[in-house]
Amino acid sequence: MRLHNTLSGQVEEFKPIEVGHVRMYTCGPTVHDYAHIGNFRTFLFEDLLRRVLLQQGYRVTQVMNLTDVEDRIIKKAAEHGQTIDEFTEKYIEAFFEDLDTLRIERAEHYPRATEHIFEMVSLIDLLNEKGHTYVTDGSTYFRIASFPRYGELAHLDHAGLKAGARVDVDDYGKDDPRDFVLWKARKPGEQSWETPLGIGRPGWHIECSAMSMKYLGESFDIHTGGVDNIFPHHENEIAQSEAATGKPFVRYWMHAQHLQDAMGEKMSKRLKNFTTLRDLVAEGYQPRAIRYALLTGAHYRSPLAFSPELLKAADSAIKRLDEFAVRLGPIPTEAEPTPDVRKRWDDALKDDLNLPAAVGHLFEFIKAFNTRLESGKATPEERAGAMAMLRHANRILDVVEFPEVVDAEVDRLIAERQAARDRRDFARADEIRQQLLGMGIQLDDTKDGTRWKRVR
């Protein structure tokens, strides 16, 4: 399996540190509001990665943090006269509901920043001991000059670093504008924690280093996020973690490109050009069409422009998949997916998660197989293989609704078969028996008439 690594700028062969087990960390939502579908594009990319790793036979331990202490949260909580926990509860609950709506598989751990203050303080302590920090006005900063590899992830030269640095207007006391805050001194009215570092709260970056290393170890396999996380967030995570442990932090850094509005602007809260999942569902769009559109609309490393047309195309693609499942009928036999299609599907996904290509192969197959079905040439074995292929693909896509055989349909086919036998059309009668078998229904002709049962 090959994955694109932002660190090297290359697609590389993927090998986890521990054989057969992938440990990955995904930057989660800032729970100050509902997540928008741009955020969900990134979370769906992570769902894709997780499902492909599982389908490749790996065990996966995935951690997604919930950023529940941050400037906007503190400000909004104070405006509502609430504690951080009271304010974020509603958005955390909404986030998990949205994950379910989009059928995003659950990670193994969802640690919250507010529940890991101790771990963050310990990590900052270690950085203090090793001489990577300084304190100004009660806030602790990371000294970037103490970490020579700074900038390697974002591939920034010194000039680029200066230009790209986000200067926090609150941070008057920094020695170098690139330096970032690890621990912020309390400001009046802010919720704070009393720690050996002083009364205050953690900066944003330190939470991901502390929580990822707690649950995954000092070195782990994959760290993901949207491309806007590369700099400075992930660059800072590397600096903090590696300065503290002296070990390589993460092997593979993977980033999803942005979801854009129709004008090609990044969808964001700040630009107010965002749509939430809830808005779309209220407008009547099927959640599975939203899932399909965000997953397959473009390769994860290409920008994707969001539009009603994209959802319409997703809708009709899903309809074709559903119809294919109906045409094949429920086939409970344990067939292997049609080998050549399966290989093309797997190869595309193993090639840096090329889902658009994989889906292309799937639809080519469906088109050809539909022709075979129409001409009556498809054997029961081929149908079973095709159904297994559809299920294999749906293990990743998770959008198809497989039909259940209903008793009335079975009774109708039995009556039709009886009519064929009465007119001595045994070929047709046999065809119906085969069709039912394909649907997992076995017939038994007794002296009291035809009985049927479901078989595996």
Residues that bind ligand AMP (CB under 6 A): 27, 29-30, 38-39, 41-42, 67, 225-226, 228-229, 256, 258-259, 266-268
The minimum distance between CB 164 and ligand AMP, in angstroms, equals 16
Closer residue to ligand AMP (CB): 28 or 438: 28
Report the partner that residue 201 touches, choosing among ligand AMP, Zn ion, none (CB closer than 5 to 8 A by kind).
Answer: none
The minimum distance between CB 265 and ligand AMP, in angstroms, equals 9
Helix (H, G, I), strand (E, B) or coil at 103: coil
Would you say the C-alpha torsion 317, 319, 321, 327 has a positive or negative sign?
A: negative
**Amino acid letter, residue 450:** T
Report the partner that residue 127 touches, choosing among Zn ion, ligand AMP, none (CB closer than 5 to 8 A by kind).
Answer: none
Closer residue to ligand AMP (CB): 46 or 179: 46
Q: Please select the residue that binds Zn ion; options are 74, 104, 121, 208, rule is CB under 5 A.
A: 208
Report the partner that residue 226 touches, choosing among ligand AMP, Zn ion, none (CB closer than 5 to 8 A by kind).
Answer: ligand AMP
The minimum distance between CB 72 and ligand AMP, in angstroms, equals 10
The minimum distance between CB 51 and ligand AMP, in angstroms, equals 18
* Ordered DSSP codes for 233-279: IIHHHHHHHHHHHSS--EEEEEEEPPEE-TTSPBP-TTTT---BHHH
User: What is the distance between the alpha carbons of residues 441 and 453, in angstroms, rounded to a whole number?
Assistant: 6
Query: Does residue 349 interact with Zn ion by CB under 5 A?
Result: no
User: What is the distance between the alpha carbons of residues 44 and 271, in angstroms, rounded to a whole number?
Assistant: 22
| Cis before 232 (ω within 30) | yes
Closer residue to ligand AMP (CB): 229 or 296: 229
Closer residue to ligand AMP (CB): 27 or 156: 27
The minimum distance between CB 40 and ligand AMP, in angstroms, equals 8
The pair of three-digit structure tokens given for residue 338, joined into one six-digit string? 């049609």
The minimum distance between CB 252 and ligand AMP, in angstroms, equals 16
Helix (H, G, I), strand (E, B) or coil at 105: coil
The minimum distance between CB 36 and ligand AMP, in angstroms, equals 7
Report the partner that residue 382 touches, choosing among ligand AMP, Zn ion, none (CB closer than 5 to 8 A by kind).
Answer: none
> 27: burial class by Cβ within 10 Å (0-12, 13-18, 19+)?
buried
Closer residue to ligand AMP (CB): 102 or 256: 256
**Within 13 Å, how many C-alpha atoms sit on residue 116's CB side?**
26
Interface with Zn ion by CB under 5 A: which range of 130-138, 143-151, 205-213, 314-322?
205-213
Closer residue to Zn ion (CB): 209 or 338: 209
Judge contact between 292 and 317, C-beta under 8 A: yes
Rg of the chain, C-alpha, whole Å? 27
Closer residue to ligand AMP (CB): 27 or 77: 27
Measuring CA to CA, which residue among 279, 273, 272, 210 is closest to residue 245? 210
Q: Please select the residue that binds Zn ion; options are 7, 27, 290, 328, rule is CB under 5 A.
A: 27
Report the partner that residue 39 touches, choosing among ligand AMP, Zn ion, none (CB closer than 5 to 8 A by kind).
Answer: ligand AMP
Closer residue to Zn ion (CB): 99 or 441: 99
User: What is the distance between the alpha carbons of residues 6 and 24, in angstroms, rounded to a whole number?
Assistant: 15
The minimum distance between CB 181 and ligand AMP, in angstroms, equals 17
Closer residue to ligand AMP (CB): 39 or 61: 39
The minimum distance between CB 245 and Zn ion, in angstroms, equals 17
Which residues lie below 8 Å from residue 306, measured CB to CB, with a gap of 6+? Answer: 37, 259, 260, 261, 262, 267, 275, 293
The pair of three-digit structure tokens given for residue 344, joined into one six-digit string? 């093309």
Closer residue to ligand AMP (CB): 59 or 72: 72
Interface with Zn ion by CB under 5 A: which range of 22-30, 248-256, 315-323, 436-444?
22-30
User: What is the distance between the alpha carbons of residues 333 and 323, in angstroms, rounded to a whole number?
Assistant: 20
Judge contact between 277 and 102, C-beta under 8 A: yes
Helix (H, G, I), strand (E, B) or coil at 396: helix
Which residues of this protein are in contact with Zn ion, per CB under 5 A?
27, 208
